[in-house]
Structure 1
Amino acid sequence: MHVENPDRNEIKQLLETYNQVAVVGLSDNPDRTSHMIAKALQQRGYQITPVNPNTDEVLGEKSYATLTDIPHPIEIVDVFRRSEHLLPIAKEAVEIGAKVLWMQSGIINEEAAAYAQEHGLTVIMDRCIKVEDAILLPNKEASK
């Protein structure tokens, strides 16, 4: 089974609708891509929740070891982990009731994508959430 990304209109609607983003693999190192993208999302009004078992806080937000440790609702699970680590993350995303499983640029896992889709999540693979947000919502205010 090959999982297709939603079209741009649907991605735009997701970004307009959802605000709670768990960033799995968010590094506390400002030179890492995950840190730069999460910071940009935060500046655009998204509520970021770091998921990194190796740090207590990133970008002023408490970090959690796993998705299931997060005490508040998460809508988008944005993943910065190698493709082979995706299936357990997809299962946790389903368990917490997330709406979207988003795999960053270069991350593709058909098995994890199919699992998430079968359980009602929208799946986006091999796309950067920051780029999509900037292209689709160029005039977005940071007061979402």
Structure 2
Amino acid sequence: MDVQQVEDRDIEWVAQNVSVIAVVGLSPNESRPSWGVARYLQAKGKLIIPVNPGHAGHDILGCKVYASLTDIPKDAGVQMVDIFRQSSAVAGIVDEALEQLPDLKVIWTQLGVRDDTAARKARRAGIMVVQDRCPKIEFPEFL
């Protein structure tokens, strides 16, 4: 078990400094948690880049959907990857993010999603990792 805890000051830094967020698993369905969280982040001034292979080429929340992190232009400035996928998918997403996103600062997994091995790998690469938490719940205190 990964015992590294994320402090409030870390969440505050993310809330105040991260402006471009790739949302992996973003659904076009307004009743899905991913849609509500992405809409909240947009309302707080964050640029959302949807990632969902089933909807690639379409728009969600007015933003072009990409099939994978690899398909996002490297100059898009993605600073955070917010993962709405099963825990078993996290390792592959982290590997892809580390390889493809030169401006990456944060890997964030949503409530109920965690992979401690992938988290350690990302932290060794200098990336902040927040697991099993939701920015829509965590950010209001700091924005």
TM over 0.5: yes
What's the CA shift for 1:90? 0.5
**2: CA distance between counterparts of 1:59 and 1:135?**
24
Q: Which amino acid aligns with 1:121?
A: I
Higher helix share: 2
Pairing partner for 1:135 from 127, 137, 141: 141
Partner of 1:63: 65
Aligned-residue CA RMSD (Å): 1.1
What corresponds to 1:142 in structure 2? Answer: none
Shift of residue 5, structure 1, vs aligned partner: 3.3
TM-score under structure 1 length normalisation:
0.91
Q: Give the ranges of 4+ consecutive aligned residues of structure 1 lying more than 4 Å apart after TM superposition.
A: none
Report the secondary structure of 1:42's partner residue.
helix
Superposed CA deviations along residues 39-66 of structure 1, whole A, max 9, x for unmatched, are 1110111000000011121100000011
2:54 match: 54
Could you tell me which runs of 5 or more consecutive residues in structure 2 were left unpaired when the two chains were aligned.
none
Residues of 1 paired with 2:125 and 2:3: CA distance?
14
Distance in 1, matches of 2:4 and 2:86, equals 19
Q: Secondary structure at the match of 1:54?
A: helix
Give the TM-score of the pair, scaled to structure 2: 0.91
Aligned length: 137
Mapped to 1, the partners of 2:132 and 2:126 lie a distance apart of 19
Partner of 2:132: 126
Give the Cα–Cα distance (whole angstroms) in 2 for the partners of residues 73 and 28 of structure 1: 23
**Separation in structure 2 between the aligned mates of residue 115 and residue 3 of structure 1, nearest angstrom:** 14
How big is the shift at 1:15? 1.5
Structure 1: give runs of 5+ residues left out of the alignment.
Answer: 138-144
